[in-house]
Amino acid sequence: MIRHLLVLLLMSLPMASFAFDSSHDAWTKLLQRNVVEIRPGQATAVRYAGFASDRPALKAYLDSLAAVSPAEYGRWPKPEQLAFLINAYNAHTVALILETYPRLKSIKDLGSLLSSPWKKAFIPLLGKTISLDQIEHGMIRKPGVFDDPRIHAAVNCASVGCPALARQAFVGRDLDRQLDTALSGFLADSTRNRYVAASGRLEVSKIFDWYGSDFEQGHRGYDSLKTLFARHAAVLATTPEGQTAIRSGRYKLDFLDYDWALNDAR
């Protein structure tokens, strides 16, 4: 009798009572099990074989994202919306890799001369079926919405050249700190960003070539790549002389080749 009454009570509650889990705890649990640090605080690798074993849990998380309505999303504060989109991008990227894993060496193997894996519309989100590109460029980077260039250290393209796939979900209440940590950690990784004292060159990821304009809009205090690198001089150079050179802009800027190899931990 009591169970019957509880069922009736639950059925009578409005759908809004079953709110989306804004802590993204299910995604964090998957990340903790299947993402490993290879350079602490700077780079990670992904156990795609582990994600394959966790496919039901991954699907359940992706289904929870798909269940969010545009109206519900629209009521959230901006940090919560941005965290939702970053997590959706990263989780769906993992799901895309699993479609053909382990028979691929790069996410680019999923495309061709006439198609791109980032333009494939396979993601049910906010009432539409969209692509990774639409999440990143049409929503996250859409001018006037979030205007946060630090997202380039948060979205992960399943490649060695990418910033680390974080081992914890992004969450609205802590997003500002998380994005700062992600950007600083990426810039500190000398395999992808470094000052070479012998030649006076600052060698940085190709990401800053592709998306340098996002750091030139004045958002979050970044009005140029020089401002970005000056602010993070302490992690880009290992000596006081190098750090002074970066802060004063006395260097030749070079963009490194991008490593598209799959960021697999096997």
pLDDT band for position 113 (cuts 50, 70, 90): low
pLDDT band for position 120 (cuts 50, 70, 90): very high
DSSP state of 103: S
Exposure string (b/e) for 219-254, b if CB count within 10 Å is 16 or more?
ebebeebbebbebbbebbbeeeebbebbbeeebeee
Give me the numbers of helices (H) and strands (E) for the chain, helices first please.
12, 7
The pLDDT, as a whole number, for residue 5 is: 46
What does DSSP say about strands 43-46 and 35-39: parallel, antiparallel, or unpaired? Answer: antiparallel
pLDDT band for position 191 (cuts 50, 70, 90): very high
Give the lowest-confidence range in 16-30, 33-47, 117-131: 16-30
**This prediction's pTM:** 0.92
Peptide bond connecting 102 to the previous residue in cis, omega within 30 degrees of 0: yes
* Distance, CA of 28 to CA of 34 (rounded, Å): 10
Q: Which are the contacts of 65, defined by CB distance < 8 A and separation ≥ 6?
A: 84, 87, 88, 91, 125
On the CB side of 228, CA atoms within 13 Å amount to 31
Which pLDDT tens digit goes with each residue over 87-111? Answer: 999 999 999 999 999 999 999 999 8
Q: Are 212 and 168 in contact (CB under 8 A)?
A: no
* Distance, CA of 246 to CA of 237 (rounded, Å): 8
pLDDT band for position 266 (cuts 50, 70, 90): confident
Exposure string (b/e) for 184-205, b if CB count within 10 Å is 16 or more?
bbbbbbbebbbbeeeeeebbbb
